[in-house]
Structure formats: structure tokens, C-alpha cells
Homo-oligomer: A and B are copies of this chain.
Amino acid sequence: MEEIKKYVAEHKERFLEELFELLRFPSVSADPKFKDDVLKTADFVAKKLVEAGADKVEVCPTAGYPIVYGEKIVDAALPTVLIYGHYDVQPADPLELWHTPPFEPTVRDGKIYARGACDDKGQFYMHVKAFELMMKTNTLSCNVKFMIEGEEEVGSANLGIFVKENAERLKADVVLISDTSMISMENPSIETGLRGLAYMEVEVTGPNRDLHSGVYGGAVANPATILCKMIASLHDENNHITIPEFYNNVVELSDGEKKALNSAPFDLEDYKKDLDIDAEWGEKGYSTLERTGTRPTLEVNGIWSGYIGEGAKTVLPSKANAKISMRLVPNQSSDEISEIFTKHFVKIAPAYVKVKVTAHHGGEPVVTPTDSIAYKAAEQAIEDSFGKKPIPTRGGGSIPIVALFEDVLGIKSVLFGFGLDSDALHSPNEKYDIYNYYKGIETLPLFHRYFAKLNQ
């Protein structure tokens, strides 16, 4: 432990500067206009893996953005850790809400503000630096493989094919992923469940052109009004989702599981204060932790129709659009839910509009084991580093790749995240605490050490 702290202390400025370099690339995978930047980011990651001491580093082309691979095989007899991360980021808009430019990392009271600071550049880069540390101090106790992709924020569309085609090269005993959060630094935790995702886009068309709302208003269906009515009907008065068959495969938690889940430190008043809301919302009969961790949800991620510029325009729009995504829990299937949603949404459309539904990327829900060697190694590493045993929690987010790994490679994952819910992922002013960044770099080598030991 001392040796680790010593190395981090000696190189901390450089560790930070390298992360800043990485954060300056606007690697937004959702928006084609950033294509070159995303590609440059992949090259940068590859360069850094080489510098850290990885062999066979390769920027592997896919039908979309490349996947960066690198490895260090110390001894075939040792267990192998496959590290997954992603170098792409969410779009930064609305830009006007950022206090400092999203792609010019800025430090304010110990926090790094930048798009991707936590999700996932700051977190996966901890592994690169921890790997460097183990190489330089000759303490690498497991074989290591890196797979850093560039399409996580748009659904990892090409990762599945890559994994299937490279099953041999990717063989490992565990997948280690830092792309999740802890409750707090005082209450370290490990996420043991993730929700799946079905992401739909809908278009409601009324008249074949925008109309004058005075000449036609009141006599022709307004697609914006109709879309509102359709969306409004998707939740009942108990905020229960009304789509038939939606809950068919959802398993209720046992009283024991509920008790364990709700034992995690959580203060609803602080939660409301942090978000500046007077009342929480959600499915009747469930606690906030149950709602985000164990229940499927349906959210409007975006809606637009008609005139949204300055001033007033008296138009009756021709079209209304919305992006609607559903978070899924174990036993729900992304494709199945997409299909159920589409069928229902088309069915509830009244005769005076036409509806088009298209599916964006999806992802399957997963639950990771807490009785595995890998989990115990992570638990032990955190206890050494934080002086406290981590609490197993259920996360609301989705990392489709976790399910993919289980299916294709038959390897379980450990969600070794060092972020915080307050990091504003996907929001303006995303941040990552410098403390957490260094803490991660210090903790990860311990995982490798215990994972090797427990595997003997």
C-alpha cells in the first residue's frame, strides 16, 4: 500500500495532465460532426496504453468507431483481468448552461469539470495509470487486457460483433469496469445490478404541412397536442406504466432483498434539496432506491414540435416528435420491450394522425454476483483503501456490454466505479473529484493483488 501511495504521489501532476489531454478531445459519438475528434481520441488512448507498458496495442476498426485493444500477459498460469471502458462521451449541450467550456477541463475546489470527466474518461484512465504503476513497480500480479470502445453512449452497436470475432483474444477470468458510482467516499459501495434500456423515437404527423393556427385551428388535429395526450397516457395515476405486458417478466424483490437495498444510507430530504424539488415522484408503493434500482421506468428524453424560436408564431405544426426510453430490470428483454412499446404506441394513435416509431440502441439488464472471487477481491481492495467494507447496491443506469460479456464470453463483471451521483453525468457541468481519481488509481492495484491471491 505504501509503495502504491508513493508512486501516485510522485506522478500525480502528470496523471492529472494526461487526463486533461484526454478530456480535451470532444469525442461525442452521437454527433457525426465530431467524427475526426472521436478517431483522434482512439489513437491517443492507444498511445497511452503503449507508454504504460501494454503489448499488442491495436486500434481495431469496426463498422463504427474503433475499439482500442492492448494486453500484458505475464504468465498464462495467472488469472486474467479484462478491463473495459469507453472513450466516447455524451453530447455537451445545452452548452449555455456550462460554467466553463465542456472540452476545456477546469478545476474548481478539487473537482475536474469537463464532459467525460467521470463518464467514462476519468474512470477508465485510472486503470491505465494503475497498470502503469504495477508495471513500473513490478507488482503486476495478473494478466491484463484492455478493451476501450468508442460507441458506449450510442449503444455499443459494433462491440457485440467485435467480441464474438475476438472471443479467443478476449479470454479472461473477470471483466473490470469503472463506469458507475459509489454512494459516497464515506460509504463506499459496489453496484451489483444494472438496468437495461430500450430507446425509441416517435413521430406523429397531422396535416401534410404547417398550418396557420387561426385559419385551421380547432378543425384539424394538432400533432403536438395528440403526442402530449399519447405520452400522458403512458403512466397511470400511480405512475405505473400502462403499456400492456410491460411488467410481465418483472420479478418483485423479496422482503429480504428490499430490506438490504433500503438499508443503504439515503436521505430523501438531502436528495430533494440537491435537486431543488419540493416532492419526489415515482411508482406508488416503492421507495426511491427501489424505483431507481429495481423497477423499470419510462422517460421522455426529448420532445419537439412547431415553433421553438424567440417570440410568437401562430402555427399549427405538421409533425411532433419525441425520444422516449425505458429502463429495464432483470428478465425484461430490450427487443421485446421495444416491440411491445411500438405495438402499443401505434395502437393508441387516433385516426387523425399518422405515427412512426423507430428504435435506437438498447441494452439488457444484469445482476452481478456478490459471492464470486472477483467481487470479494474488490470488496477487500476497497476495505484496505477506504477502511470500510463496501455496500452492494443496485444501479439505475445501463451498461449493455455487461450482459453481452456474460452471453458471448461467459465472463462475469465487477462494476468497480468511483464516481458520485452528484457528478452530473449526461448533464452540463459534469465533474469528477480529483480525490476520487487518485483514490481509484490507488485502489485498483489492490484488486489485482487480491484477485491473484484468491485465485491460488
Q: Could you list which residues of chain A lie within 8 angstroms of chain B, going by C-beta atoms?
A: 30-32, 90-91, 93-94, 97, 154-155, 181, 195, 197, 199, 201, 206-222, 224-225, 227-229, 231-233, 235, 275-283, 288, 291-292, 295-297, 299-317, 320-323, 325, 327, 350-353, 360-361, 395-398, 421, 424-429
Contact = CB atoms under 8 A, between A and B. Distances in A.
Contacts of A397: 212, 214-215
Among A235, A314, A325, chain B packs the most CB atoms within 10 A around the CB of: A314
Q: How many copies does the complex hold?
A: 2
A400 to B, nearest CB: 11
A206 B227 CA distance: 20
Contacts of A231: 224-225, 228-229, 232
A360 B306 contact: no
A30 B312 contact: yes
Contacts of A300: 222, 224-225, 228, 305-306, 317
Contacts of A325: 213, 312, 314
A213 B427 contact: no
Contact of A316 (B219, B299, B304, B305): B299
A367 to B, nearest CB: 15
A311 B93 CA distance: 13
Given A306-B323, A312-B30, A312-B325, A225 B299 contact: yes
A331 to B, nearest CB: 17
A231 B233 CA distance: 12
Given A30-B309, A214-B195, A312-B361, A222 B299 contact: yes
Given A30-B313, A214-B398, A312-B323, A291 B219 contact: yes
21 contacts: A30-B313, A93-B307, A97-B210, A154-B312, A199-B312, A208-B276, A208-B277, A209-B428, A209-B429, A211-B427, A212-B425, A213-B325, A213-B327, A214-B396, A215-B396, A215-B397, A216-B292, A227-B228, A301-B314, A302-B307, A313-B426
Nearest to A289: B219
Nearest to A425: B212
B209 A424 contact: yes
Given A31-B309, A310-B30, A282 B154 contact: no
B308 A302 contact: yes
Contacts of A309: 30-31, 91, 93
